[in-house]
Amino acid sequence: MLAKINNFEIDLSKPIDISIPLTNTEENPIAWYIEKPVIEPVVFGDWIGKVSEGKSSTNFNNIFFNPHGHGTHTECLGHITNDFYSINQSLKQFFFFAKLITIEPEKIGDDFVITKEQVQKTLSASPEGSGSLSVTNETLIVRTLPNQLEKKSRKYSNTNPPYLSEEAAIFIRESEIQHLLIDLPSVDKEHDEGKLLAHKAFWNVKDTHNLNQDARFNATITEMIYVSDEIEDGNYILNIQIASFENDASPSKPILYKI
């Protein structure tokens, strides 16, 4: 099935899924010191909501999970603010022009960091070669190296994963990128004393208790994606799918389409 978006043609029958599925197995990725998700049937006395148990005509599961720690999720600035803001109210458009880039984070001290200079250099090496993002690119997708398949099941807690520098986040914001996707559990350092420099820089949040008027209420960050090596750097159409949670974040399913 072909569709046109602003005269760009995409084939809707060939989606490229860059999300990580949520499971209740040891294969599920985990961050932020929590246990794996729980998916289990409802039990009422002798009745079990599981067809294979012979007590029910339907499978009827409860699911307990954390969107930030258990897989691909999309979050709004409500993730870091005193006042409540919902991803379901913040994300109102679902198709975007996107650029995928690949970066090997730079070792700085004990950390591995995605720097502003790396982002600019990678963009300069892209076909456009300008060192900046095109105004048509509303979304930036960052794949980090090394890109092992293990990212889909990695246990990130207390491993000090790579992160985005504050300067890189400012550059991305000033490039008018509204939606940032990354294959890490957070754009910020795991143990950062609550500074959240990259989150604040991207959303332009100066005070989490008294929001400035130019804070970016409609911008989103999607973390813990997985972009396989077969997917080439370049321009795509991106579809961000979320569940309608009135929460700061929702599990999500970002889908790419070749242009």
- Looking at the predicted structure, is the pLDDT value of residue 145 above 70? yes
Domain boundaries, the chain: 7-21+67-258
Contacts 24+ apart (CB under 8 A), 148-156: 151/20, 151/29, 151/183, 151/226, 152/20, 152/27, 152/29, 152/226, 153/26, 153/27, 153/28, 153/29, 154/29, 155/29, 155/30, 156/29, 156/30, 156/31, 156/32, 156/185, 156/190
State the chain's mean pLDDT as an integer. Answer: 94
For 34-52, what is the mean pLDDT? Answer: 96
Per the omega criterion (within 30 degrees of 0), is the bond before 146 cis?
yes
For 201-205, what is the mean pLDDT? Answer: 98
* DSSP 3-state of 22: coil
**For 51-55, 202-206, 220-224, which range has the lowest pLDDT when averaged over its residues?**
51-55
Percent of the chain past pLDDT 70, that is, above it, reads 96
DSSP H/E element including 25:
none
> Given this model, what pLDDT does residue 124 score?
79
For 142-162, what is the mean pLDDT? Answer: 98
- Looking at the predicted structure, is the pLDDT value of residue 135 above 50? no
What kind of architecture, by CATH, is found in domain 7-21+67-258? 3-Layer(bba) Sandwich (3.50)
Percent of the chain past pLDDT 90, that is, above it, reads 90
For 190-197, what is the mean pLDDT? Answer: 97
**Locus of tokens 């991803």:** 87
Question: The whole model's pTM is what?
Answer: 0.94
**Locus of tokens 């794949």:** 143
What residue type is assigned to position 57 of the chain? S
